[in-house]
Amino acid sequence: MGNRNGTHVLTERDVEILIKTSGKSEREIRQWYDEFHQDTNHTDRMDKRQFQVFYSKLRKKSNLQQITDHIFRAFDADQSGTIDFSEFLFAYIATSEGTKQQKFEYAFEVYDINDDQVVEKKEAKKILNLICRIIGLPEEDAKTYTNTLMLTFDTNQDKVLSKTEFINGCLHDITLARFANPFEI
């Protein structure tokens, strides 16, 4: 997601993903980002307390404290105590409601980092590393899951996962599918 020279900009792709995951219009999403920008005093970095206030405005969740802890543990690797807008988006998407099919579609968007409509092994590894960190599993597990995912889901054996392969794979493998939405385990 958009991060140029360390300063977050809301890219067209961020907006597209957000339209799909939030059901909001582009105008609302741009307002939403403006608000994030304002709420963080133009730093675009949010601490735990600000995160909870902002998140609650968008979605009511009873396990907000748990979500907050997960998110900060996963993203705040430099222990700065803050996360940026793209990290916030990940939290929002990961905890989004909707049908299984929709969630797997969102998950595909997240996995497909370079937006070329296929998931490569290195993309899967990056996201699975992140998810394992969120749910507190060792990096070794992320490696295993990446290999299993790339082998199991790739039905035409071209070494990459199409959207259809990814979604069908998730629908048929509960263990791997839980990575599509780690907050509802």
Minimum distance from residue 127 beta carbon to Ca ion (Å):
11
DSSP per residue, the chain: ---BTTB----HHHHHHHHHHH---HHHHHHHHHHHHHHTTTS-EEEHHHHHHHHHHH---TTHHHHHHHHHHHH-TT--SEEEHHHHHHHHHHT--S-HHHHHHHHHHHH-TT-SSEE-HHHHHHHHHHHHHHTT--HHHHHHHHHHHHHHH-TT-SSSEEHHHHHHHHHH-HHHHGGGSGGG-
Minimum distance from residue 8 beta carbon to Ca ion (Å):
21
Minimum distance from residue 86 beta carbon to Ca ion (Å):
17
Nearer to Ca ion, 118 or 137 (CB): 118
Nearer to Ca ion, 151 or 174 (CB): 151
Nearer to Ca ion, 40 or 146 (CB): 146
For Ca ion, the binding residues (CB under 5 A) are 112, 114, 116, 154, 156, 158, 165
Nearer to Ca ion, 71 or 119 (CB): 119
Minimum distance from residue 125 beta carbon to Ca ion (Å):
12
Nearer to Ca ion, 34 or 158 (CB): 158
- CA-to-CA distance for 167 and 108, rounded, in angstroms? 8
Minimum distance from residue 93 beta carbon to Ca ion (Å):
17
